[in-house]
Amino acid sequence: MKTKRYESIWDAIENEPGISENMKIRSILMQELVAHITKTSMTKIGGQADDFSRGSRIAHRCHTPLVNFPQMSHRYRLYPTDIQSQGLSGHCSDARYVWNLALEQTNLYRPEWGPTPGPTLRQKQLAEARKDTWLGQGSSSVQQQALRDFEKALKNWWQGTHRRPTWRKAGVNESFCVRDVKVIKQNGKWAKILIPKIGEVRFRLSRALPYKYGMARITLDRAGRWHVSFTSIPESKTRVKTGNGVGIDRGVTNTLATSDGQMLQVPTLPKLIAKQKSLQVTMSRQVKGSKRRAKTRAKLGLTYARITDRRNDWVEKTTTKLVANYDLIVVEKLQTTNMVKRPKAKENPDNLGSFLPNGARVKAGLNRAILRSCWGKLEKRIEDKAKQSKITFIRVDPRYSSLECRRCSHIAKENRESQAVFKCVMCGHENNADINAGQVILARGLRVLASTPGPGACRSKTGARGSPPYVATRTSKVEAA
Ligand SMILES: [Zn+2]
């Protein structure tokens, strides 16, 4: 088959013979989209691209994008005026529109047409699309940056470090990048950032500005708050070695129980949760599309954001403390996503069509508790910070960790006297059940370490304060090897 280079995807759709019926339908959609752009009179709304992409969401299985959010950033709350925030929203919808268009092009492309358009060609196409269209009224640098973001996302996908780029959705992906960052410091509390086509927007200096700016990303969260974050290279902290190791058991009653007897609890926030529930009830009784409902939804969004903020704050502080205090951190390998699944429906064999109780309500409560405990986020942040501080982080097999005796390794259901009390039926060892589990996890981690030779092994001082006795045993094992 003869391959032919086409100018653009639209050119290809028009001239390629023998495209499938599905493709033809899609091409009509595509042309409609092009017509929308070229119609100069069209009012500029992000909705067009999003309505369009919603249709294709079904056609392609998409995943949440994981791209372009740097691990380390300095984030500040942005305080735009009403007019400025309208402009910022416009930039967000432009960036989203360009991203979705580029994604559409990539998804439609077929290998027969030769290589997919590269960054240069795409930028050229963007410049063309901007000519005499509403797209041209937006900021070119914001739109170009959206394309560069997309290029990077594609590259990450090809390299296998990230998932496939997905559709950006209005109300969810509200962000754009500013490339040439200009920041004007006003005083100790306030600074301004220069945003193309909008001007200077104030932001609160809740922490010192980074030493050097990369790019700035402007985001709007679901609670309607604007933020600006600057990418920065994480500073390497000189960490003093402590010689201690810790095993961490994650639970529902105690969010974290450490092998040296600490119990750490995620904030339960009863007031905020009660408020959230009452707002949910209020909203369910309001007429859909009404102004009152919109107001309640905004309030609900803010409450939800407060809850998340408080929990995230706790996660950050706790994980920082853990990484500072221990050279070795061991956790269980948990599949949190599998653990929060709904139980299967049990059909009644005597009366088809009806169902037997399957414990769904109880499980739902447990699921909520698991999600509230931020297990996944805790693990992720420990891992990130461990990498940064060059300490050892291990995940171990979680099986029977709550039933095993840490002294004699005997595993039995009877060992668990109650939820809180652990009493070994073999050796009589007695402890808090969660702390015992933490110790079992640490012991498993040390076994993993001992069996993996080479650097990265955690050295611990014999008899260091707070370090359990078996830290020393492991060290001697490594030395003997
Ligand atoms: Zn025992």
Amino acid letter, 170: A
Average pLDDT (71-79) is 83
Q: How confident is the model at residue 106 (pLDDT cuts 50, 70, 90)?
A: confident
- Residue 248 Cα to ligand 1 midpoint, Å, equals 20
> Do 250 and 194 sit in the same domain of this protein?
no
pLDDT (0 to 100) of residue 388: 80
d(CA 140, CA 350): 67
> Do 475 and 436 sit in the same domain of this protein?
yes
Domain membership of residue 3 (yes or no) is: no
CA distances from 75 to 71, 148, 198, 332, 342 (A): 12, 22, 20, 32, 37
- Residue 435 Cα to ligand 1 midpoint, Å, equals 14
Domain membership of residue 2 (yes or no) is: no
Domain membership of residue 236 (yes or no) is: no
d(CA 420, CA 130): 65
Q: Which two tokens stand for residue 296?
A: 């309640």
Q: Which residues lie closer than 8 Å to 153 by C-beta, 6 or more apart?
A: 65, 67, 68, 162, 165
The 3-state DSSP class for residue 335 equals: coil
Q: How confident is the model at residue 293 (pLDDT cuts 50, 70, 90)?
A: very high
> Do 63 and 129 sit in the same domain of this protein?
yes
**DSSP state string for 225-254:** -EEEEEE-PPPPP-PPP---EEEEEE-SSS
Average pLDDT (383-409) is 89
d(CA 331, CA 468): 16
Q: How confident is the model at residue 28 (pLDDT cuts 50, 70, 90)?
A: very low
pLDDT (0 to 100) of residue 257: 93
- Residue 407 Cα to ligand 1 midpoint, Å, equals 5
- Mean pLDDT check: name the lowest of 10-14, 183-187, 213-217, 433-437: 10-14
- Residue 237 Cα to ligand 1 midpoint, Å, equals 41
Q: How confident is the model at residue 30 (pLDDT cuts 50, 70, 90)?
A: low
pLDDT (0 to 100) of residue 239: 78
> Do 149 and 59 sit in the same domain of this protein?
yes
| pTM exceeding 0.85 | no
pLDDT (0 to 100) of residue 144: 92
Residue with tokens 């945003």: 195
- Residue 278 Cα to ligand 1 midpoint, Å, equals 48
Residue 454 above 80 pLDDT? no
Q: Where would I find the H helices in 248-329? A: 270-285, 291-325
pLDDT of 271-281, one tens digit each?
A: 999 999 999 99
Which residue from 354, 321, 307 is spatially nearest to 248, judged by alpha carbons? Answer: 321
Residue 457 above 80 pLDDT? no
Q: Which residues lie closer than 8 Å to 19 by C-beta, 6 or more apart?
A: 13, 27
Q: Which of 202, 231, 260 is the last residue of a domain?
A: 231
pLDDT (0 to 100) of residue 234: 60
pLDDT (0 to 100) of residue 334: 83
- Residue 64 Cα to ligand 1 midpoint, Å, equals 46
Residue 360 above 60 pLDDT? yes
Q: Which residue has the higher pLDDT, 50 or 358?
A: 358
Q: Which residues surround ligand 1, an ion (CB under 5 A)?
A: 405, 407-408, 410, 424, 426-427, 429
> Do 113 and 75 sit in the same domain of this protein?
yes
Average pLDDT (351-363) is 80
Residue 432 above 70 pLDDT? yes
Domain membership of residue 426 (yes or no) is: yes
Amino acid letter, 178: V
CB distance 50 to 56 below 8 Å: no
- Residue 51 Cα to ligand 1 midpoint, Å, equals 62
Residue 368 above 60 pLDDT? yes
Q: How confident is the model at residue 17 (pLDDT cuts 50, 70, 90)?
A: low
Q: Which residues lie closer than 8 Å to 388 by C-beta, 6 or more apart?
A: 234, 236, 237
pLDDT of 196-241, one tens digit each?
A: 999 999 999 998 888 777 789 999 987 889 999 987 766 655 778 8
- How are the residues of the chain apportioned to helix, strand and coil, as percentages rounded to the nearest 5? 45, 15, 40
- Mean pLDDT check: name the lowest of 52-56, 102-106, 188-192: 52-56
**DSSP state string for 108-173:** H--GGG-SPP-HHHHHHHHHHHHTTSGGGGS-HHHHHHHHHHHHHHHHHHHHTSSPPP----TTT-
- Residue 422 Cα to ligand 1 midpoint, Å, equals 10
pLDDT (0 to 100) of residue 58: 28
Average pLDDT (89-103) is 90
Residue 17, judged by CB atoms within 10 A of its CB (0-12, 13-18, 19+), counts as: exposed
- Residue 392 Cα to ligand 1 midpoint, Å, equals 28
The domain of 315 spans: 245-347+355-480
- Residue 412 Cα to ligand 1 midpoint, Å, equals 10
pLDDT (0 to 100) of residue 14: 57
Domain membership of residue 238 (yes or no) is: no
d(CA 49, CA 71): 29
d(CA 383, CA 100): 32
Amino acid letter, 34: V
- Residue 399 Cα to ligand 1 midpoint, Å, equals 17
CB distance 326 to 394 below 8 Å: no
> Do 249 and 204 sit in the same domain of this protein?
no
> Do 398 and 466 sit in the same domain of this protein?
yes
Residue 124, judged by CB atoms within 10 A of its CB (0-12, 13-18, 19+), counts as: middle
- Residue 411 Cα to ligand 1 midpoint, Å, equals 8
> Do 375 and 295 sit in the same domain of this protein?
yes
CB distance 191 to 230 below 8 Å: no
> Do 51 and 136 sit in the same domain of this protein?
yes
- Residue 405 Cα to ligand 1 midpoint, Å, equals 5
Domain membership of residue 210 (yes or no) is: yes
- Residue 428 Cα to ligand 1 midpoint, Å, equals 6
* Strand extents, DSSP E, 412-458: 421-423, 430-432
Q: Which two tokens stand for residue 40?
A: 């100069």
pLDDT (0 to 100) of residue 72: 66
The 3-state DSSP class for residue 426 equals: coil
pLDDT of 371-393, one tens digit each?
A: 888 888 899 999 988 888 888 99
pLDDT (0 to 100) of residue 202: 95
Q: Which two tokens stand for residue 133?
A: 């269209």
- Residue 401 Cα to ligand 1 midpoint, Å, equals 13
How many domains would you assign to the chain? 2
Percent of the chain with pLDDT over 90: 37
> Do 336 and 192 sit in the same domain of this protein?
no
Most confident of the ranges 4-18, 67-81, 224-238, 291-305:
291-305
Percent of the chain with pLDDT over 70: 78
- Residue 71 Cα to ligand 1 midpoint, Å, equals 43
Phi, psi of 458 (to 5 degrees): -85, 120
Q: Which of 183, 208, 231 is the last residue of a domain?
A: 231
pLDDT (0 to 100) of residue 453: 61
The 3-state DSSP class for residue 203 equals: strand
pLDDT (0 to 100) of residue 10: 55
- Residue 386 Cα to ligand 1 midpoint, Å, equals 32
CB distance 133 to 38 below 8 Å: yes
Average pLDDT (452-462) is 45
The 3-state DSSP class for residue 414 equals: helix
Average confidence score pLDDT of the chain: 78
- Residue 373 Cα to ligand 1 midpoint, Å, equals 29
* Dihedral (CA of 71, 224, 173, 59) sign: positive
Residue 315 above 90 pLDDT? yes
Q: Which of 170, 204, 231 is the last residue of a domain?
A: 231
| Cα 335–chain centre separation | 16
pLDDT (0 to 100) of residue 43: 37
> Do 226 and 316 sit in the same domain of this protein?
no
Residue 19 above 80 pLDDT? no
Q: Which residue has the higher pLDDT, 257 or 115?
A: 257
pLDDT (0 to 100) of residue 326: 92
Residue 95 above 70 pLDDT? yes
Q: How confident is the model at residue 7 (pLDDT cuts 50, 70, 90)?
A: low
pLDDT (0 to 100) of residue 470: 36
d(CA 50, CA 41): 19
Residue 56 above 90 pLDDT? no
- Residue 415 Cα to ligand 1 midpoint, Å, equals 8
- Residue 256 Cα to ligand 1 midpoint, Å, equals 23
- Residue 429 Cα to ligand 1 midpoint, Å, equals 5
Domain membership of residue 141 (yes or no) is: yes
- Residue 72 Cα to ligand 1 midpoint, Å, equals 44
> Do 297 and 378 sit in the same domain of this protein?
yes
CB distance 445 to 333 below 8 Å: no
- Residue 177 Cα to ligand 1 midpoint, Å, equals 58
